[in-house]
Amino acid sequence: MENVLIPVLFGSLAGLLAIGAPISVALGVSALAAMWYLGDNPIKMVQIAWSSVGSFPLMALPSFILAGALMEAAGISRRLINVAESLAGPFTGGISAATILACVFFGAISGSGPATTAAVGMLMIPAMARAGYDRSYAAAVTASAGGLGIVIPPSIPMVIFGISAMGLAAPPEAIEQFGQFQTVSISKLFIAGFVPGFLMAGSLLVANYIRAKRLGYHGGAEPLSLSKIGTALYRGFWSILAPLVILGGIYGGFFTPTEAAIVAIFYTLLIGIVVYREINLKEIVVALEATTWLTGRVLLVLFTATLFGRILVENQIPAQLADGMLSFTQNKAAIWAIMIGFLLIVGMFMETLAAIMILVPVMLPVAYSVGIDPIHFGIVMICSLSVGFVTPPLGENLFISSGISKIDIEKIAYRALPFIVALVAAIAVIAAVPELSLWLPRAMGY
């Protein structure tokens, strides 16, 4: 039966996506087709819906989205960007390097690639243009660095990865080697993402320096000003404190990621209303509307992807696919190359959260089979999918940068190619050296 179920499930999914159906509709209809083929009771959908959206860790998703929206309204994100801009100085490609650093700072509070690109791009793309940078290059730098928003913790895709993996039982040999996968917390994923996130940022900084030197972007005439940096740090003190409060509370064991997201909301409201006095009731309502729209969209995909994944797991399709791949090769490096290449291609056509929810049940058994730690696999998966933000045809960051810079997407994508190569090289290093992801969680006792 399984031999027929695979084409029924994946064939209907591919057909619906080919005709332009929304990902949630494609997942739901293909799952219903499989249930009809298997003779399952449709009431099962209701049970799965309840279990998929009723988990406590999932509350972190709308909370982090709301916190990010409120931080932009409160002026926190703008002050973080100003701190990064003050570090530009006379260095080759200094202001574009500051753009990358600004994406790192904003990624530490937003957890979203497109949100990072939009917030940073609105300020830094015009600033680079005023400094003599080609607008297409400025847009390409911003779009490429915007993907760091989902790699630097806290990260919304990390939350979704942890939730998607909770229902997967590890095989006995993996339990002996790694422990039960259900015990791998979202907090551990957040900690594991730090070093890889900064490595990817470093690869972009190197690529930016090389490209800026060739293009003649030598930086400003003014020397690096300690007073300017000090002023930016003073004005942005409460903004810099935001990620420290969020991540410090999680890593210090004071609260869970879900509780940290709630703390972030109240911290932002306190700073925005009492300290900066830039947030008002209208902006709070706008942030709530944006959060409701985005959360509803994600939850709909989560429900249908959970249903799709449950059918995969119950019918042992991931095990069959894993056996098929392992019959081709059992070399860990080759498996990594296949999975990373596949994820890079998927990221070009599919939204990151949907890709995680669909592919975790399929690819995690393969990772277990060749001795890859699930946390390490999760970090590499998210890093690989982050490249999809800057690769057409989906390339959400390209569309945002194009809208800000008024430059054609094709031109921005061409300019972004060296940065994409740098990111892929960094991902290869992260996959090849597990300790880059696992050392910090172990050092902190996780």
Residue 421 confidence class, pLDDT cut points 50, 70, 90: very high
Compute φ and ψ for 371, nearest 5 degrees: 80, 30
Residue 352 confidence class, pLDDT cut points 50, 70, 90: confident
Query: Which of 337, 323, 404, 331 lies closest to 366, judged by CA?
Result: 323
Distance of CA 40 to the CA centre of its chain: 35
Paired tokens of 23: 């990902």
Q: What is the mean pLDDT of the chain?
A: 83
Paired tokens of 324: 């098929």
Distance CA 203, CA 192 (A): 18
| Burial bucket for residue 173 (CB in 10 Å: 0-12, 13-18, 19+) | exposed
Paired tokens of 409: 């997407």
pLDDT digits (tens, 9 = 90+) for 246-297: 878 877 778 877 788 788 889 989 998 988 888 888 888 988 888 888 777 7
pLDDT over 70, % of the chain:
89
Give yes or no for a contact between 385 and 157, defined as CB atoms under 8 angstroms apart. Answer: yes
Longest dimension (CA), the chain: 72
pLDDT digits (tens, 9 = 90+) for 108-163: 777 778 878 887 888 888 888 888 889 999 999 999 999 998 998 888 889 889 88
Which residues, in sequence order, are CB contacts of 87 under 8 Å at separation 6+? 94, 97, 98, 101, 224, 229
Please tell me the pTM assigned to this model.
0.82
**Percentage helix, strand, coil for the chain under 3-state DSSP, each rounded to 5:** 80, 0, 20
Cite the beta strand spans of 59-175 per DSSP E. none
Q: What is the CA radius of gyration of the chain?
A: 22
Distance CA 246, CA 67 (A): 11
- Identity of residue 37: Y
Distance CA 70, CA 162 (A): 25
pLDDT digits (tens, 9 = 90+) for 6-50: 788 888 888 888 888 887 788 888 888 888 888 777 677 667 666
pLDDT digits (tens, 9 = 90+) for 175-230: 555 554 445 678 889 889 999 999 999 999 999 999 999 988 876 556 667 787 88
- Identity of residue 431: A
Paired tokens of 145: 């660095």
Distance CA 229, CA 96 (A): 17
Give yes or no for a contact between 423 and 203, defined as CB atoms under 8 angstroms apart. Answer: yes
